[in-house]
Amino acid sequence: MTAALFASVCLIAACGLIYELIAGTLASYLLGDSVLQFSTVIGSYLFAMGIGSWLSRYIRRGLVARFIAVELMVGLVGGFSSAILFLAFGWSPGWFRPLLYGLVLLIGTLVGLEIPLLMRILKERLKFEDLVSNVLTFDYLGALAASLLFPLVLAPKLGLVRSAMAFGMLNAGVALWSTFLLAAHLPNPLAARLQCAAVLAALAGGMFAADAITTMSEQAVFADDIVLARTTPYQRIVVTRWRDDFRLFLNAHLQFSSRDEYRYHEALVHPALASLSHRRRVLVLGGGDGMAVREILRYPDVEEVVLVDLDREMTAMFRDHPELSRLNGGAFRSPRVKVVNADAFVWLRETDARFQLAIVDFPDPTNFSVGKLYTTSFYRELARHLEEGGLAAVQSTSPMFARRSFWCIAETMRAAGWRVSPYHVYVPSFGEWGFMLGSLGDYRTPERLPEGLRFLTVRTLPPLFDFPGDMARVDAEVNRLNDQVLVRYHEQEWSQVSR
């Protein structure tokens, strides 16, 4: 019996950490700034656990019944927490943050009650020193198991809603198990078992309806029909469709609309690539949708395109899904294209490959994990992989709506040793959007462009490098790895814009 109760410690520790990780991940997906969200969620959760531990002193009788009741409450609240938060974000975004921290505090308080109650149940079976060491050992083992399972299995395979439901069922299973292990301490074991069965049935129903819950929530967020939605270890990917317009959203942020993405991708690729006389090898960092690669493949003298994108699920979608691969012209099936699924910063440090051009198409720096890809350290590393006279074109957010962020990227590239030529283009889905053309030598606008472009011409290219007064340069600090001012700039500026 004692061994079984220690196994329960391991399970409930895993459940508690999973609810914490799900809350932090959801907050990062939907609110951005992963460091802030995880820090505040973890801090609130640990604080609430302390409250629960303190409150446990006031439970003096019926310890087994109270322990089972706490397990069922944790299972219900924790199990449905992800579904509740998804629905709240879709239907009433203003309530998302209060509800998030309310649930974190409630779950943390309940989890804080579990271990003290279980230790008091076990105290008659073990010496105090053995009791404490064994309970804490199994508690930490459960936390380790949860921390490994969540990113490797649960988030990519089950998704956040199903993962929460599954671990809610584990809590309810521990409660049911306890009604047999500790039946002698229960006034009515049958009634307790029926309660456990009811909670398990509710959570099983939630597991069955998980896709419908997520779809219902996202349909409230996204105006158009959702044709594809996936949760990966790195992001939430949603593709919507209205008539012939496909839109890609990463963590609820629009990445492109198929109706006007050609403006963005032509501006990203051709001002740099068309100006090069030698362009045998091209590197693309990010750009997992393959649109930039499609533009690069217009040049028959480009022999190899290496695309490095962190998310394997993303590149697989745009390679295999018929309608999505049509948007990039089947770029990922070209024999000239090599796809590498890796962290771009790490990959650059580990390879000696050199290129004539780098296209840097990362999402906006909404958090520090993306912000590191806009630092002096990154741009210095990137320069090491370009041949003499090489160029880099960098997606650089909006010079209209995030003006200081845009010029921060320019200053950061200059501080890393690049000559920088900022330019901008109007994309209807985004408004004015900006890019940096970084060079290690001189840059001249091209005199010829490939045939078949829908937007750019030789005549309209030079005006892209001219900035009107409301987008002109402003003072900004350099974005460094140990002090990512860009993330703060971006959050401050975009929070003032209704998108």
Catalytic residue numbers read 361
- 313-330 b/e with 16+ CB inside 10 Å = b? bbbebbbeeeebbebbbb
DSSP 262-276: HHHHHHHHHHHHTT-
Sheet with strand 431-439: strands edge to edge: 337-340, 304-308, 281-286, 355-361, 386-395, 431-439, 419-427
CB atoms within 10 A of CB 430: 21
Say how far apart CA 82 and CA 90 lie, in whole Å: 12
- Residue 486's Cβ-count burial label (10 Å; 0-12, 13-18, 19+) is buried
The DSSP element (H or E) to which 357 belongs, if any, is: strand 355-361
Tokens 């005006």 found at: 463
- Residue 216's Cβ-count burial label (10 Å; 0-12, 13-18, 19+) is middle
Query: Can you state the angle between helices 96-122 and 2-31, rounded to 10 degrees?
Result: 170
DSSP 401-442: TSHHHHHHHHHHHHHTT-EEEEEEEEETTTEEEEEEEEESS-
Residue 391's SS3 state is: strand
φ/ψ bin of 302: left (φ > 0), alpha (ψ from -120 to 50), beta (otherwise)? beta
Q: Are 270 and 296 in contact (CB under 8 A)?
A: no
Structure tokens that stand for 94 in this block? 């203003």
> What are the beta bridge partners of residue 435?
395, 423
Say how far apart CA 398 and CA 253 lie, in whole Å: 14
Nearest to 445 by CA among 457, 453, 455: 457
Say how far apart CA 374 and CA 394 lie, in whole Å: 9
The DSSP element (H or E) to which 85 belongs, if any, is: helix 63-91
